[in-house]
Chain A
Amino acid sequence: MNESDLLEELTIKDLLDKYPYSKEFFNINGLPIDDVKISIRDYINSLGYVFLEDMGLNQEDLLKRFRSFMDRMKAIREEPAFNIRDITILGGRNKSEKPEEIDLKICIGEIICIVGPTGSGKSRLLADIEWMAQRDTPTRRQILINGSVPPRDWRFSVEHKLVAQLSQNMNFVMDVSVGEFITLHAQSRLIDNSEIKTQEIVFHANQLSGERFDMNTPLTSLSGGQSRALMVADTAFLSTSPIVLIDEIENAGINRKKALELLIGQNKIVLIATHDPLLALMGNKRIVVKNGGIKKVINTTSNEKKGLLRLTEIDNILMKYRESLRNGQLLEIGDELLC
């Protein structure tokens, strides 16, 4: 007897106790539960022909779907986390079809920035990494993971994404509160007890954004800055993706430095397309793109790193003024801005 046979012999109560996510099987298929003491098999056999016909099913199909559901959820739960040490970008060709001479390895814990004028191909480079391009995108680039070609089915794995993305175009659209949203996200990772995570995420999101919000704030009423802050904190603590791609979030009004530290602290590779000097200098390298190709890779110099301290001060001052503005205070612009 295999495991699915056993599962359908369980009573609904035992099934729900043992596999809390199985509740979703009933919910998503519109199956009302009246008596939890009968077995799944008996339950399915008790459903009437007309009821099932309305769904386009019969008892046998539904039992099959139940087994598939349980198998799939088990697989998602047990699938091991990615073990990624590094990724490699192998050059393709630029927009003028000239070869792109590049072989760049990026390791876990690195922050890499991508700079270049609008239209130069920053987003395209991020998309190539997201897609684990194998010379099958317009740029003909190839992406290696741990030095080899990643298995093709990684592209299709919706449950375990190698890459998490954050971009300025992204908005929250779900009609729920912040707390409900995080719980839903945790559930989608099949994490049952998400209370601590939820608190952690809301706490850190508030550290990133000047404007406070809490669990009960409706998700879609968050400001641009609050949304970005929540997306960063959520990615840091709930996403299993080892690679984070950030596309131009400089205007979001969040503490960018803290945001990056939060992500890097969770052992991720972070790639940022940006025009922002503060962000650009936080990376250890920056990729310069031009005309659709990688032109060169610059290592951040020690001089630049020193400059970063000064830039951070200026940024902190600006943030202080922003905060004063928000609170309806007068701006006391003193000497601190003078060099």
Chain B
Amino acid sequence: MKLITVSGPPSSGKTSVIIKSIGELKDRHLKIGVLKFDCLVTDDDNLYAAQNIDSRVGLSGSMCPDHFFVSNIDDCLNWAIGQSYDILISESAGLCNRCSPHIKGCTAVCVIDNLMGINTPKKIGPMLKMADIVVITKGDIVSQAEREIFALKIRQANPDGIILHVNGLTGQGAGELATLIETATEIETLVGKELRISMPSALCSYCLGETVIGLNKQMGNVRKMKLD
């Protein structure tokens, strides 16, 4: 089993890119399942179903989506093994720019689009900077020069990764991504594996349901702004 974690800002083209790559992988006779992690709602399961792709949705609701991810992903892997998939792909929106669901030893993909502005590579944290593969989408609608500028910014933010242009609409480039996915490392279990970066620390009274504002309600892990 190979586990591929795909992350990226909302609407960057994750689902489109995954669907196009799976099209290529199916041509190569591989069985693939998809997981979609989101907060409240998602339509992506319908998009996957429309392409005859098996998927499961995990909604974190009031929980931190990243904590939700990490406490479910090993069960998901076992489910995928039970389904005898060759490849399990997890899609999750980058819900804050710091977090990344990427796991050491599993291929990590970050999807980012050309429309996001040149300061985006700076603002997106480990999700981009620690990915093995950065997929850039929507190159069809911006100028060549802006594409080049954006690609260099990404290169500077992630000097070691593979950068790949994929068109989420036509699938151009998805064949190459599929080849990279196909050659990803096999894993048997996630137990004992480590996240590439620690989860955001959050254990304060508000995590536990507190809603009232005020110093005497702030308990646990609290960090204060410097205002002067």
A contact set with B: CB distance below 8 Å: 24-25, 27-30, 53-56, 65, 68-69, 71-73, 76, 127, 130-131, 136-137, 155-156, 158-159, 161, 164-167, 169-175, 181, 184-185, 187-189, 227, 231, 234-235, 238-239
Cross-chain contact of A175 among B117, B151, B170 (Cβ < 8 A) = B117
B142 lies within 8 A of A170 (CB): yes
A56 lies within 8 A of B198 (CB): yes
CB neighbours (8 Å) of B175 from chain A are 136-137
Complex-state Cα separation, A235 to B147, whole angstroms:
12
User: Distance (Å) between the CB of A259 and the closest chain B CB?
Assistant: 14
Interface size class of B (residues with CB under 8 A): 35 or more
CB neighbours (8 Å) of A231 from chain B are 143-145
CB neighbours (8 Å) of A158 from chain B are 148, 151-152, 154-155, 163, 165
Complex-state Cα separation, A137 to B141, whole angstroms:
21
Are A166 and B126 CB-contacts (below 8 A) given A156-B176, A158-B155, A185-B149?
Answer: no
Complex-state Cα separation, A222 to B20, whole angstroms:
34
Type the 1/0 row for B136-165, where 1 means its CB is closer than 8 Å to any CB of A.
000011111110110111111101101111
Are A24 and B156 CB-contacts (below 8 A) given A56-B126, A136-B175?
Answer: yes
A185 lies within 8 A of B142 (CB): no
Ordered by A's residue number, 21 sampled pairs between the chains whose C-beta atoms are within 8 Å are A55-B126, A56-B198, A65-B129, A69-B156, A72-B160, A127-B172, A131-B172, A137-B175, A158-B154, A167-B140, A172-B143, A173-B117, A173-B141, A175-B117, A185-B145, A185-B149, A187-B152, A188-B152, A231-B145, A235-B144, A239-B148
B contact set with A: CB distance below 8 Å: 98, 100, 114-115, 117-118, 121-122, 125-126, 129-130, 140-146, 148-149, 151-157, 159-160, 162-165, 170, 172-173, 175-176, 196-198
CB neighbours (8 Å) of B172 from chain A are 127, 130-131
Are A188 and B148 CB-contacts (below 8 A) given A167-B140, A171-B143?
Answer: yes
CB neighbours (8 Å) of A136 from chain B are 175
Closest to B127 in A: A56
B151 lies within 8 A of A56 (CB): no
Complex-state Cα separation, A234 to B155, whole angstroms:
22
A165 lies within 8 A of B144 (CB): yes
Cross-chain contact of B146 among A54, A76, A172 (Cβ < 8 A) = A172
User: Distance (Å) between the CB of B159 and the closest chain A CB?
Assistant: 4
B142 lies within 8 A of A172 (CB): yes
Nearest 8 interchain pairs by C-beta: A56-B197, A68-B159, A56-B126, A188-B152, A158-B151, A72-B159, A188-B149, A185-B145
Instruction: Identify the interface centre among A24, A28, A137, A227: most chain B CB within 10 Å of its CB.
Output: A28
B159 lies within 8 A of A69 (CB): yes
Are A171 and B141 CB-contacts (below 8 A) given A156-B176, A185-B148, A185-B149?
Answer: yes
A159 lies within 8 A of B143 (CB): no
* Main DSSP-derived SS at the A contact region: helix
Closest to B223 in A: A50
B146 lies within 8 A of A174 (CB): yes
Closest to A244 in B: B144
B159 lies within 8 A of A65 (CB): yes
Instruction: Identify the interface centre among A68, A71, A170, A238: most chain B CB within 10 Å of its CB.
Output: A170
CB neighbours (8 Å) of B121 from chain A are 28
B162 lies within 8 A of A156 (CB): yes
Are A159 and B152 CB-contacts (below 8 A) given A167-B140, A171-B142?
Answer: yes
A234 lies within 8 A of B151 (CB): no
Cross-chain contact of A174 among B118, B154, B173 (Cβ < 8 A) = B118
Closest to B196 in A: A56
B118 lies within 8 A of A28 (CB): no
A238 lies within 8 A of B145 (CB): yes
Q: A29-B129, A169-B140 are in contact. List 8 more A-B contacts (CB 8 A).
A: A29-B122, A30-B122, A56-B126, A156-B164, A159-B148, A173-B142, A185-B148, A188-B152
Complex-state Cα separation, A172 to B149, whole angstroms:
12
Cross-chain contact of A127 among B98, B153, B170 (Cβ < 8 A) = B170
CB neighbours (8 Å) of A56 from chain B are 98, 100, 125-126, 129-130, 196-198
Complex-state Cα separation, A238 to B145, whole angstroms:
9
Closest to B24 in A: A136
B122 lies within 8 A of A27 (CB): yes
CB neighbours (8 Å) of A172 from chain B are 142-143, 146
Complex-state Cα separation, A29 to B196, whole angstroms:
17
User: Distance (Å) between the CB of B176 and the closest chain A CB?
Assistant: 6
B117 lies within 8 A of A28 (CB): no
CB neighbours (8 Å) of B165 from chain A are 158
Closest to B145 in A: A185
CB neighbours (8 Å) of B100 from chain A are 56
Closest to A50 in B: B223
Complex-state Cα separation, A187 to B100, whole angstroms:
30
Instruction: Identify the interface centre among B118, B143, B173: most chain A CB within 10 Å of its CB.
Output: B143
Complex-state Cα separation, A231 to B147, whole angstroms:
12
B176 lies within 8 A of A181 (CB): no
Complex-state Cα separation, A167 to B139, whole angstroms:
11
CB neighbours (8 Å) of A53 from chain B are 198
Complex-state Cα separation, A187 to B151, whole angstroms:
12
